[in-house]
Amino acid sequence: MRNTGRFLCLISFLLASVTLASGAGAASFDISRYNGPKMKDLYYVIIRDMDAQLLAMSSGRLDVLSDIYRPADVERLSKSGVADLSLAATFHGMFITFNTRKFPWDQTILRQAASQAAERRRWTRDLFSGYCEPMSSFLPIISPFYESGVTHFPPGVEAARRRLADAGWTWNSAGWLVAPDGRELPATKILCPPSSIAATTTEIATLMAEALVSIGIPAQAEPIDFQTMLARVDVRDFDACTNAWLMSRDPDVLYSFYHSSMDVEGGYNMSGIADPELDRVLHQLRYAPDEAAAREYSSRAQKMLAELMPVIPIYSRYSISAMKKGWDGVFLTDRSTADNLLTLISMTPAEGGERPIYWNIPEEIRTLNPLVSSIAYDWTVLGTIYDTLISVDPYTFEDMPWLAESWSITTGESGSVLTFTLREGLKWQDGYPLTVEDIAYSIQFIKDNNVPRFYDSVKDVASIETDLKNRTLRIEMANTSYWHLHNIGGGVLPLPKHILENVKDWRAWQPTNTPHKALDGTTLTELIGTGPFTFRESRTGEYVHMTRNEHYMLRNKGARSE
């Protein structure tokens, strides 16, 4: 109770202490009201050690610090008074996965009872001082496709035991469960990373094991080397294990996790759930022709999963970030912390004038080749260089115009037909005009070269037509799926044709080390996008220097960010 109170106070404090951006609280978002970026220089500063990051933030040498996850650090920073903290729910989810291929976890009722016994609320309060949200759904609560009307079994050990007893399960003299057919339960080992790697995950596995024991299932946590754990899960050599994922706003990820076709070695259906009806719904979800159908199948899939319970959702992490005081124009919503692109575009010093932005990155940048990079921190940088055709409304997480001012998705003869109309007057960072030809070339390049990172987004592209005059791009897909809109519109990066056509080996392409060939006397490299900041220099392990993109679509519009 004391912790809950403290948590609620702290959350209120955090939300109250952040600098609210103008317009926050609006029902939907209007990008045309923004004008930026306002600051000329942006430095992504690489500081790896968490304590060193906090020292740098507390001493005012950093402007933005993301991903603060230790409760003590949050309190330390909030007390220091140098920064405003913001907190938001995320797409993160932590689950206990059961191997449903073998007894006893092939028994649905046992998984349901285990879910009832999991005291998520108490665990998250005790372990994270409240900086996490207990989770009982298969999609994050902030997903626009989250279904709240799923079955929730009454929580608690007693309720779980009653449920099992009603279904004919009994307990032997030692207190262990016995199945209705007389089979005794083998011991369940919950694989988890060691506490030196992920202390709270190990603790959750231990608590889950205790919860299972409390309803009569012999269980214990088994901390093992993380890579060994992944290898064992890949070959399905486990009873139960811990898993954590950063999901996306689309429910299509449910197909990867729970469709039986994904239960292959190394596949993401780790629980091995194979339910023909669920498969059918997930297939319909993947190939839903429009948004209404996608919503319907997503809802049905979540309801079925809540009954089948192949995994037990435990908690979702909050994102907490710190922003140095003294900046105006900070943008945040109840779904987004202050460390976002819109803040980057609109932030200005409260005292006026010009000064560089120092933004922390906690890991070295591995590569800034957009075709191969798969690391989140690389994409923090790449995300300020490249734009997508459509973006995500920061208030609702619905689609929002970005490079494309409008779009449509219809069903043609062979499959979905996507039509995008670009904004007028778009330019690359090197001043070249951005046309639909660039986008068509990017998609074709990725498809022809089977670029793995974007392979799933473009593999079903059947044909592309462009209309330069009307700035229209028409893409015909080989099958019907509403997700093609997000895969192409939000998943594929438009890359400049005049640069991409000179790339000989895309896999070894180092755009940051290759000077821009087409412009004389420029300091630009081949890392050219349309985003708000242009790449200038990267010192491995030290920093990445970016400067304002004077050709940015929101720059020099004559409007203020109010």
Partner 1 sequence: MTAALKRLGGSLIVLAVVLALNFFLFRVMPGDPLTSIVDPRFSPEAKAQLASQWGLDKPLSEQFVVYIREMLSFRFGLSMMTGAPVWDELKKRVPNTVALLLPALVLSASLGLWLGVKAALNRGSAIERVVLLTGAVSFSFPSFFVQILLLMCFAYFWRLFPLSGTTSIPPPSGGMAVLDYIWHLALPLCSLVIMGFGGFALYIRNMMVKALGEDYVLMARARGLPFRRVVWNHAFRSILPPVLTILLLSLPGVVSGAVVTETVFSMNGVGRFLLEATNSHDYPAAGAAFFSLALLTVGCNLLADAVYILVDPRVRREGSRE
Residues near partner 1 (CB under 8 A): 41, 43, 45-49, 51-52, 55-56, 58-59, 61, 225, 227-228, 230-232, 234, 245-248, 253, 256-257, 262, 264, 266-268, 356, 358, 364, 366-367, 369, 372-375, 450, 452-453, 455-456, 459, 507-510, 539-543, 545
Phi, psi of 266 (to 5 degrees): 80, 0
Helices 108-117 and 291-308 meet at what angle, rounded to 10? Answer: 90
Measured between alpha carbons, how far is 426 from 264 in angstroms, rounded to an integer? 44
Choice between 450 and 463, CB closer to partner 1: 450
Nearer to partner 1, 137 or 421 (CB): 137
CB closer to partner 1 out of 191 and 434: 191
Of 3 and 510, nearer to partner 1 (C-beta) is 510
Alpha-carbon span 437 to 431, nearest angstrom? 16
Q: How far is the CB of 539 from partner 1 (least distance, A)?
A: 7
Give the 3-state secondary structure of residue 403: coil
Distance CA 266, CA 199 (A): 25
Interatomic CA distance for residues 512 and 490, integer angstroms: 24
**Considering beta carbons, is residue 21 or 45 the nearer one to partner 1?**
45
Alpha-carbon distance of 237 to 129, in angstroms, equals 34
CB of 2 to partner 1, least distance (A): 30
CB atoms within 10 A of CB 502: 12
> Which runs of E-coded beta strand occur in 239-310?
240-246
Name the minimum Å distance from CB 139 to partner 1: 13
We find the least distance from the C-beta atom of residue 266 to partner 1, in angstroms, to be 7
Cβ at position 1, least distance to partner 1 in Å:
35
Cβ proximity to partner 1, 110 vs 368, nearer residue: 368
Integer Cα distance of 519 and 30 in angstroms: 35
- Residue 369 CB, nearest approach to partner 1 (Å): 5
Residues 6+ away with beta carbon under 8 Å from 181: none
Alpha-carbon distance of 389 to 350, in angstroms, equals: 33
Between 56 and 109, name the residue whose CB sits nearer to partner 1: 56
Nearest-approach distance from CB 18 to partner 1, in angstroms:
25
Please state, in angstroms and rounded to a whole number, the distance separating the CA atoms of residues 309 and 258.
10
Which C-beta is closer to partner 1: that of 283 or that of 427? 283
Query: What separation, in Å, do the N-terminal and C-terminal C-alpha atoms of the chain show?
Result: 41
Instruction: Report the residue count for the chain.
Output: 562
Rounded to whole angstroms, how far apart are CA atoms 515 and 107?
Answer: 61
In the complex with partner 1, the residue whose CB is nearer, 94 or 217, is 94
Residues 6+ apart with CB under 8 A from 521: none
Nearer to partner 1, 176 or 226 (CB): 226
Which CB atom, from 258 or from 331, has the smaller least distance to partner 1?
A: 258
User: What are the Cα distances from residue 55, in Å, to 45, 74, 77, 365?
Assistant: 14, 13, 10, 21
- Min dist CB 145 to partner 1, Å, is 15
In angstroms, give the least distance from the CB of 356 to partner 1. 8
Q: Which is nearer to partner 1, 95 or 318 (CB)?
A: 95
Rg for the chain, CA atoms, rounded: 25
Nearest to 215 by CA among 153, 151, 136: 153
Q: Would you state the structure tokens that stand for residue 496, as one six-digit string?
A: 């400049």
Q: What are phi and psi of 509, to 5 degrees?
A: -60, 125
Cβ nearer to partner 1, comparing 26 with 246? 246
- What span, in angstroms and rounded, lies between the C-alpha atoms of 66 and 555? 26
Task: Give whichever of 55 and 165 is closer to partner 1, judged by the CB atom.
Answer: 55
Cα separation, 555 vs 433, whole angstroms: 15
Alpha-carbon gap, residue 424 to 419, rounded angstroms: 16
Vertex 164 angle, CA 108 and 158, to 5°: 120
Q: How far is the CB of 373 from partner 1 (least distance, A)?
A: 8
Closest CA to 207 of 136, 137, 120, 270: 120
Q: Give the whole-angstrom CA distance, residue 502 versus residue 14.
A: 49
Compute the least distance from the CB of residue 478 to partner 1, in Å: 14
The least distance separating partner 1 from the CB of residue 544, rounded to whole angstroms, comes to: 10
d(CA 16, CA 13): 5
Distances, alpha carbon 186 to alpha carbons 77, 105, 165, 216, in Å: 48, 10, 19, 11
Taking the complex as a whole, the smallest distance from the CB of residue 374 to partner 1 amounts, in Å, to 5
Task: Decide if 235 contacts 89 (C-beta within 8 A).
Answer: no
**Shortest Å distance, C-beta 284 to partner 1:** 18
